[in-house]
Amino acid sequence: MPGGLKGPSYSMRRGEVTVRTPTFSVEVITLPVSDVERAMRFYVDQVGFTLDVDYSPTDAFRVVQLTPPGSNCSIQIGNGLTDAPVGSLRNVYLVVTDLEAARSRLLERGVEVGEIRHKTPIGSWDGGFASGLDPARGDYASFANFSDPDGNSWVLQERGYRNV
């Protein structure tokens, strides 16, 4: 099938057909940036991503792949990768177990991170937010935002704090 996607598989069992759903895995997100070196330094030195690949066979093409610590999904920046407008990526979630600690670390490294906020009202969220961490430190309830130098935006979201 196109793009390497495997179609559903079928098997016969006593007159029944079993359909298995294909597996989809998000593994790379391409970020449109204006200056590859500046973006790479931001993500490696300030945000703490790991540099996986820096490949440039020509002056017109370069791919830099970076991975957040603990993630199975990477980002790619470079030349000749996307025609999306610079800074147009919005609200990619980075999930952390301790939002306060993650935010503090980013601030120490010079990243401008917004204030922490949480969903309100608790238990029947209608899109509103209040300042600070969710009082119960509930999963998916507390957030903080930051952007890279080109304006691509990220959301830090807390999950798993009570399990730490």
Gap between the Cα atoms of 136 and 21, Å rounded: 36
Express each pLDDT in 6-21 by its tens digit. 555 544 556 677 788 8
Q: Is residue 41 part of a domain?
A: no
Beta strands in 21-81 (DSSP E): 28-30, 50-58, 61-67, 74-79
Are 133 and 100 a contacting pair, CB within 8 Å? Answer: yes
Q: Is residue 29 part of a domain?
A: no
Q: Is residue 104 part of a domain?
A: yes
| pLDDT at residue 76 in the model | 98
Q: Is residue 160 part of a domain?
A: yes
Q: Domain limits at 114?
A: 90-164
Pairing between strand 128-131 and 9-13? unpaired
Express each pLDDT in 74-100 by its tens digit. 999 999 999 999 999 999 999 999 999
**Phi, psi of 129, deg, nearest 5:** -135, 155
Cα angle 102, 138, 132; round to 5: 55
| pLDDT at residue 1 in the model | 44
Return all residues near 66 (Cβ < 8 A) that are at least 6 apart. Answer: 40, 43, 44, 49, 50, 51, 52, 74, 75, 76, 77
Query: How many structural domains comprise the chain?
Result: 1
Q: Is residue 162 part of a domain?
A: yes
Across the chain, what does the average pLDDT equal?
Answer: 92
In this predicted structure, the answer to whether residue 133 has a pLDDT above a threshold of 60 is yes
| pLDDT at residue 122 in the model | 80
User: What is the CATH classification number for the domain harbouring 139?
Assistant: 3.10.180.10
Confidence bin at 4 (pLDDT 50/70/90): low
Q: What percent of the chain clears pLDDT 70, i.e. is strictly above it?
A: 91
Q: Is residue 137 part of a domain?
A: yes
Q: What percent of the chain clears pLDDT 90, i.e. is strictly above it?
A: 82
Q: Is residue 115 part of a domain?
A: yes
Q: Is residue 103 part of a domain?
A: yes
| pLDDT at residue 17 in the model | 76
